[in-house]
Amino acid sequence: MAAAAIATAGLVGWTGTASAAASPTRPSSSSGLARYLGQELRWGACPADATELIKAGAQCAQVTAPLDYAAPGGPSITLAISRIKAKDRAHRSGVLLTNPGGPGGPGLDYTAHLRSALKDAADRYDLIGFDPRFVGRSTPIYCGISPKAQPAHSRREAFEASVRNARDTARRCHEHGNNAVLLPHASSRNVARDMDLIRAVLGERTLSYYGISYGADLGAVYAQMFPRHAGRIVIDSVTDPALTQYENFQAAGAAQERGLDEWAAWTARRSGAYRLGRTPGEVRATVESLSSRVDSGPLRIGGSTVDASALGLILRQFVGTEEYNDVMARAVRNLADAAAGRPVEPIPELRMWLEVFNTPSPELDNQFNSGNAFFCGDGAWPAGGWPSDPERYWRNIERARRTQPVFAATANAIFPCPFWRTEPREPGVELRNRVPLLLLQAKGDNNVPYAGAVAMHRRLKGSRLISADIRSHGVYGRGADGLTPVPCADRVVNAYLRTGVLPATDVSCAHPDGTR
């Protein structure tokens, strides 16, 4: 069957209104979508810097998509996609699309990156990577370089600076380039529509999918909007669907403090190596002392500076993955030495993050601010956004400090969304269905806590939940990132992708080393 005919066979969610998105539609040629559904792709070489794609023999192309699916006769955008053809043509199961999270994460080469984890399941699919709209090579948005932050010398000064920065980011994003036209169409609904357009243009009846973090939430949105086209869907590390994005960030604060306690216990058992304390309490006190130190002004280390915001984000990155225990301990040792006035050469992992926070980059501007655009476009902030009362954020931070002395300011931070110049065009997607899919979550995830996955599992009645007893954000395919695999989870995912058969019950995977 031709791609256009396949695409129109029972489409769901293509129109722009919330009511129409919940029921089947059949766009006709007069709808304006025909020119997109019937397009022929020109496959060619992938970008020179996409080394994993080139090594895999992938081809790349651009899909043309409507900027506004409610007005497909209007302006269009381009979506960068990649393809590695299935090796096992006799058992080909269609296409497998992936998303690495963010939002704002480019994913053109992500499916190629996962090939080693997919094992023989990879041979049964055309592996499709893509940069979501406004990200990477897909009609990217930029907001310009942020002005250099002025040093803050108290918690209150740092908060006021964060409010100014959020307000300025919202202004710059609206005024830069053609963003005023593009930003109203940044939403997870529209990315899901783009995904279904990719499916249709490729001539496939269904779309199989793996997504992690925001990519997991996106997969759930796709299954809700396009249940007839949902193939074998795997979503890894989801947020609580009953909470706003801000509330999900808040929920992570307590989980990050628990992760810090776990790391402190690990580090205390190795006090001779790291000299951060002989007991978990002493190690934690070292970190809390660092937090207090940067509250009074930036800390200079290795030619860079670390302020309170950067320190919180760096510690959050390290404490989220148990394999980073050693890296975090050595980084904290670096920071503690710098705070004591000793000359310090930062370890490479810390230096990388220092460069992120001290070096302007168009690529990072795109990732951070396209992420902001999706958060704001999904309406994922408290009702009304509190634009006239940022003091609520301050009160939330101060209240959380009682039990979250290290991560309160990070978990309750203000974002540009309260000052965003464009209102969400559509409500967020309410997730509640019986579409069969596989859901994975680490019990020790302190980026998106495990309780959120349990809540998502209850909403998605056709799902099976794989729980892994590790501290990690992401369960499947960890070996591809140089981390310890969870063989139990990898086996279940790959069996599902090979056969399309979900496990009969939920699955609980022990820690890979069998210790808990």
Q: Residues 6 or more apart from 279 whose CB is under 8 A from it?
A: 268
Residue 305: pLDDT band by 50, 70, 90 thresholds?
very high
Q: With 80 as the cut, is the pLDDT of residue 172 above it?
A: yes
Q: Beta partners for 207?
A: 230
Q: Structure tokens of 501?
A: 């058969």
Q: For residues 204 and 224, what is the distance between their CA atoms, to the nearest angstrom?
A: 18
pLDDT of residue 281: 98
Going by the DSSP 8-state scheme, the letter that residue 185 receives in this structure is: G
Residue 397 · residue 159 · CB < 8 Å: yes
Q: Can you tell me the mean pLDDT for 152-174?
A: 95
pLDDT of residue 381: 76
Going by the DSSP 8-state scheme, the letter that residue 433 receives in this structure is: B
| Mean pLDDT, rounded, of the chain | 91
pLDDT of residue 1: 34
Residue 26: pLDDT band by 50, 70, 90 thresholds?
very low
Residue 148: pLDDT band by 50, 70, 90 thresholds?
confident
The tens digit of pLDDT for each residue in 84-109 reads 999 999 999 999 999 999 999 999 99
pLDDT of residue 15: 40
Residue 475 · residue 488 · CB < 8 Å: no
Helix (H) or strand (E) holding 438: strand 437-442
Q: With 60 as the cut, is the pLDDT of residue 507 above it?
A: yes
Q: With 70 as the cut, is the pLDDT of residue 17 above it?
A: no
Residue 22: pLDDT band by 50, 70, 90 thresholds?
very low
In this structure, which amino acid lies at residue 14? W
- The C-alpha angle with vertex 62 and arms to 61 and 64, in degrees rounded to 5, equals 150
Residue 515: pLDDT band by 50, 70, 90 thresholds?
low
pLDDT of residue 385: 55
What are the sequence ranges of the domains in the chain?
A: 147-158+248-361+372-422
Instruction: Give the number of other CB atoms < 10 A from CB of residue 386.
Output: 16
Residue 217 · residue 194 · CB < 8 Å: no
Residue 103 · residue 371 · CB < 8 Å: yes
Q: Can you tell me the mean pLDDT for 118-133?
A: 98
The tens digit of pLDDT for each residue in 359-409 reads 888 999 999 999 999 999 998 776 555 556 889 999 999 999 999 999 999
Residue 4: pLDDT band by 50, 70, 90 thresholds?
very low
Q: For residues 403 and 399, what is the distance between their CA atoms, to the nearest angstrom?
A: 8
Q: With 70 as the cut, is the pLDDT of residue 12 above it?
A: no
pLDDT of residue 30: 40
Residue 307 · residue 327 · CB < 8 Å: no
Q: Beta partners for 209?
A: 97, 233
Q: For residues 234 and 431, what is the distance between their CA atoms, to the nearest angstrom?
A: 15
- Weakest-pLDDT range from 36-50, 153-167, 469-483, 502-516: 502-516
Q: For residues 375 and 369, what is the distance between their CA atoms, to the nearest angstrom?
A: 10
